């Protein structure tokens, strides 16, 4: 193996201050050499890390911080940077560059192998390898890996895993050396290799700007710095085209399907201040000629020109066309049977439908495609149950789905029919493709999708591709909730187009009116402040405690979750109580609350440390990204069932679906005692506790507060000021999404219905 060092350079993450102990100026560059003892924290997105270093020149362990990519315990590193005095954490070394070498000492090798760097090797196996081979273990990995079969616990299958992982490390180091030779910070070498594999060097030489939209976490400036140091000229067409596409994709991450042309060019020019506006215009024309973007006049939206990523433009057009074809394809039911069926079903199911509910059920039996929307307490679940029972009498094969696992489980419990996630229904595979598609249709006479406000453009177009024209499609959701995380605003666009049969449920039923959760959700949606509950605990289901100080709010959340709710309402604080907060940082952000709640609610579980995070058996955890191989998706909630410290693995139960994580995969998980409101979509909890402070003003919006409140079934508690709640309830203007589906539908249908 090539044992030469690679150099990792980075800019300081924070301002550097004067070290009072030494009197050095912050600008004085110092060097520090030593062995990495532990990596306390590593952010895979920003590559910022905090590590402890053992250096012969310094007493004890030195804290090192900086955007250094991934370094591994046991490695020897030589750092350049500055000393600083952090007001909270004390003396630190702010590193701006790092030279890495493989470990030379036995302790270093042991930590290196046990770090999770190699799949299949945990702390216990690393210990056995070092005991058997000493420092020669790295040479065996290079030249004679079959020698490892002598070690207990290593069979042929595990050996292949270890060999493949070690080979990856060798190739990544070769990539690092290439980047180093061009004075390029190789911070993202691992991600580049994961995307391009053995073709990484060829891809970088050809066009490094492709990294911007092919590798998550690499922004335009990172790729631009890399390209310039690799010799690409500042006026390279690749550069300006990548800048426009990157700006467009950034806009789409806010949920938009297009960006107004003037705003797009202005945003792009702001990224590169010395850019030639004429060059940007030319680059945009080239992108249009190459069909990477589509430019459209949108007079109906008072937008002179809109720029779409080409696939977004195609998806919107395809959605409109497929909905027309599905809606108009004949699959009638006998009208006289429908009229006779409903009264008998109501008696049989012991239901008394309101007039608007009866109209919605009748519409579902008459129309091929329809939409039902309404807030809490308006009877969406009742309608869903009776529609399914009615269509079952006609012999239709029924499929039920929802965007998340939690929502699918609730749908199954409410209807008595099997339900699954939309991804699972369509058979999403490891390659990113759906097994049910245009060529392999679903076998269904009815598909009902609940929580339809969470459907984004990509998922919806793939859903429509999989439906046979004879299938009925019913979408049920609350249009006033937060829209999908992904681009698009499907449910709102379908309703606002007024082209498909749609039923709006407004009446709150008497039983629901007794719930202040329901009453206040509708008040908030109408722009009104919530009312206090007229009952006393434990009958009261809504509380708003007016607090502004963050520390006091944090204290109240901890007491309420750990003591008051369990004592008064008899709810399990781990299983039944969910803290929802608008932000991740700060005293009442998810990061700090999760740390504190874990120590309060689950202090003694068998634990596994991963950077600054600790996972314990019994912890509630959240999947933070889609993992199609494991069949777990962003927002899925689970519980840690087993921690294997020897193998470096964690087993998580997601509603009966067991998923095992290697140590290197644990950045896909986060603690979930407190989660963001966005991550709670599609879920319900017996109790919800929600802080709302003026410091959250950027995210305070009516639909966010409404969504958070409607996640609660039995109890909702808000801690926050009158001002913060007023700001959020009044803020409805920040929720607009740039889409064109509403108008596409109006064009596709010959006349509105």
Asked whether the CA dihedral 12, 14, 18, 22 is positive or negative, the reply is: negative
Whether the pLDDT of residue 378 is over 80: the answer is yes
Q: Which pLDDT band holds residue 465 (cuts at 50, 70, 90)?
A: very high
Summarised one tens digit per residue, pLDDT across range 254-311 is 899 999 999 999 999 998 877 888 999 999 999 999 999 999 999 989 899 999 999 9
Burial status of residue 277 (CB atoms within 10 A of its CB: 0-12, 13-18, 19 or more)? exposed
pLDDT for res 1: 38
pLDDT for res 104: 67
Q: What is the mean pLDDT of residues 226-231?
A: 85
Q: What is the mean pLDDT of residues 196-203?
A: 84
Q: Which pLDDT band holds residue 646 (cuts at 50, 70, 90)?
A: low
Whether the pLDDT of residue 44 is over 70: the answer is no
pLDDT for res 655: 78
pLDDT for res 248: 94
Summarised one tens digit per residue, pLDDT across range 562-597 is 999 999 999 999 999 999 998 888 999 999 999 999
Q: What is the mean pLDDT of residues 413-431?
A: 87
Q: What is the mean pLDDT of residues 389-399?
A: 90
pLDDT for res 8: 29
Whether the pLDDT of residue 84 is over 80: the answer is yes
Whether the pLDDT of residue 23 is over 70: the answer is no
**Residue, of 630 and 672, whose pLDDT is higher:** 672
Burial status of residue 680 (CB atoms within 10 A of its CB: 0-12, 13-18, 19 or more)? buried
Q: How far apart are CA 189 and CA 205, in angstroms?
A: 14
pLDDT for res 435: 92
Q: Which pLDDT band holds residue 321 (cuts at 50, 70, 90)?
A: very high
Q: How far apart are CA 366 and CA 447, in angstroms?
A: 15
Residues 6+ apart with CB under 8 A from 93: 30, 32, 53, 62, 63, 64, 65, 79, 81, 82, 83, 84
Of 67-76, 279-288, 465-474, 641-650, minimum mean pLDDT range? 67-76
Question: Could you tell me whether strands 669-671 and 542-545 are parallel, antiparallel, or unpaired per DSSP bridges?
Answer: unpaired
Q: What is the mean pLDDT of residues 493-502?
A: 96
pLDDT for res 296: 96
Of 172-176, 232-236, 490-494, minimum mean pLDDT range? 172-176
Most confident of 78-87, 152-161, 211-220, 390-399: 390-399
Task: Give whole-number Cα distances, 646 to 9, 122, 128, 700, 724, in Å.
Answer: 34, 5, 11, 45, 48
Q: Are 405 and 654 in contact (CB under 8 A)?
A: yes
Long-range contacts of 211-220 (CB under 8 A, 24+ apart): 212/242, 212/245, 212/246, 213/242, 213/245, 213/246, 213/249, 215/188, 215/191, 216/191, 217/44, 217/45, 217/46, 217/188, 217/191, 218/188, 218/191, 219/246, 220/246, 220/247, 220/271
Whether the pLDDT of residue 551 is over 80: the answer is yes
Instruction: Give the N- to C-terminal CA distance of the chain in Å, as an integer.
Output: 70
pLDDT for res 570: 96
**Residue, of 148 and 438, whose pLDDT is higher:** 438
Q: Which pLDDT band holds residue 219 (cuts at 50, 70, 90)?
A: confident
Whether the pLDDT of residue 722 is over 50: the answer is yes
pLDDT for res 336: 66
Kindly report the average pLDDT of the chain as a whole number. 86
Q: Which pLDDT band holds residue 6 (cuts at 50, 70, 90)?
A: very low
Q: How far apart are CA 577 and CA 690, in angstroms?
A: 11
Local structure of 166: helix, strand or coil: helix
Q: What is the mean pLDDT of residues 602-621?
A: 86
Q: What is the mean pLDDT of residues 483-501?
A: 94
**Structure token pair of residue 193:** 């290799």
């Amino acid at each position: 193996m090539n044992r030469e060092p690679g150099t990792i350079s980075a800019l300081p993450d924070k301002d550097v201050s004067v070290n009072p102990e030494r009197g050095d100026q912050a600008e004085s560059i110092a060097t520090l050499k030593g062995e990495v003892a532990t990596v306390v924290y590593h952010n895979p997105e920003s590559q910022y890390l905090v590590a402890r270093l053992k250096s012969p020149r310094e007493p004890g362990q030195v804290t090192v911080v900086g955007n250094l990519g991934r370094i591994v315990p046991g490695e020897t590193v030589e750092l350049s940077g500055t000393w600083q005095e952090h007001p909270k954490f004390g003396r630190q070394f702010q590193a701006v560059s790092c030279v890495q070498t493989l470990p030379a000492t036995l302790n270093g090798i042991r930590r290196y192998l046990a770090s999770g760097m190699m799949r299949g090797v945990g702390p216990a196996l690393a210990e056995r390898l070092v005991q058997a081979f000493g420092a020669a273990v790295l040479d065996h990995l290079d030249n004679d890996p079959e020698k490892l079969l002598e070690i207990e616990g290593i069979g042929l299958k595990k050996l292949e895993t270890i060999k493949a992982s070690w080979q990856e490390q060798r190739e990544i180091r070769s990539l690092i050396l290439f980047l180093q030779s061009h004075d390029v910070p190789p911070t993202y070498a691992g991600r580049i290799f994961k995307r391009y594999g053995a073709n990484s060097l060829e891809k970088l030489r050809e066009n490094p700007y492709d990294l911007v939209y092919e590798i998550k976490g690499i922004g335009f400036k990172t790729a631009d710095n890399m390209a310039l140091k690799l010799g690409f000229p500042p006026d390279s067409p690749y550069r300006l085209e990548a800048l426009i596409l990157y700006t467009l994709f950034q806009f789409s991450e806010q949920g938009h399907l297009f960006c107004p042309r003037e705003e797009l060019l202005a945003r792009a020019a702001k990224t590169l201040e010395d850019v030639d506006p004429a060059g940007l215009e030319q680059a945009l024309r080239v992108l249009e000629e190459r069909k990477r973007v589509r430019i459209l006049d949108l007079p109906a939206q008072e937008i002179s020109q809109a720029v779409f990523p080409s696939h977004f433009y195609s998806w919107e057009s395809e959605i409109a066309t497929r909905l027309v074809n599905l809606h108009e394809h004949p699959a009638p039911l006998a009208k006289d049977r429908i009229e006779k069926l409903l009264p008998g079903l109501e008696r049989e199911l012991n239901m008394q439908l309101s007039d608007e509910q009866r109209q919605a059920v009748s519409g579902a039996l008459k129309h091929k495609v329809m939409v039902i929307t309404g807030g809490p307490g308006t009877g969406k679940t009742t309608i869903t149950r009776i529609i399914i029972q009615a269509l079952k009498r006609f012999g239709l094969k029924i499929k039920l789905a929802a965007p998340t696992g939690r929502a699918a489980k609730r749908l199954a419990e409410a209807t008595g029919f099997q339900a699954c996630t939309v991804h699972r229904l369509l058979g999403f595979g490891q390659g990113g493709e759906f097994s049910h598609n245009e060529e392999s249709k679903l076998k269904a006479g009815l598909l009902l999708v609940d929580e339809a406000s969470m459907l984004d453009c990509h998922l919806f177009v793939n859903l429509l591709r999989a439906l046979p024209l004879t299938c009925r499609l019913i979408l049920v959701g609350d249009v006033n909730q937060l829209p999908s995380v992904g681009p698009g605003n499907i449910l709102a666009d379908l309703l606002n187009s007024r082209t498909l049969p749609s039923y709006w449920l407004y009446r709150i039923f008497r039983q629901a009116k007794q719930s202040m959760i329901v009453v206040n959700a509708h008040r908030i949606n109408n722009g009104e402040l919530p009312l206090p509950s007229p009952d006393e605990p434990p009958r009261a289901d809504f509380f708003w405690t007016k607090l502004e100080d963050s520390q006091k709010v944090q204290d109240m959340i901890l007491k309420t979750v750990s003591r008051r709710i369990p004592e008064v309402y008899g709810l399990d604080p781990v299983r039944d109580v969910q803290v929802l907060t608008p932000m991740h940082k700060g005293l009442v952000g998810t990061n700090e609350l999760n740390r504190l709640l874990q120590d309060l609610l689950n202090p003694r579980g068998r634990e596994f440390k991963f950077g600054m995070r600790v996972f314990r058996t019994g912890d509630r955890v959240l999947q933070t990204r889609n993992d199609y191989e494991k069949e777990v998706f962003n927002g899925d909630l689970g519980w840690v069932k087993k921690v294997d410290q020897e193998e470096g693995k964690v087993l998580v139960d997601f509603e009966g679906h067991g998923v095992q994580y290697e140590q290197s995969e644990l950045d896909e998980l986060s603690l979930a005692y407190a989660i963001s409101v966005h991550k709670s979509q599609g879920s319900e909890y017996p109790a919800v506790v929600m802080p709302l402070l003026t410091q959250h003003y950027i995210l305070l919006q009516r639909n966010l507060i409404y969504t958070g409140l409607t996640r609660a079934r039995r109890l909702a508690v808000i801690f926050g000021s009158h001002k913060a709640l007023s700001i959020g309830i009044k803020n409805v203007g920040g929720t607009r999404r740039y889409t064109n589906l509403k108008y596409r539908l109006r064009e596709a249908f010959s006349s509105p219905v």
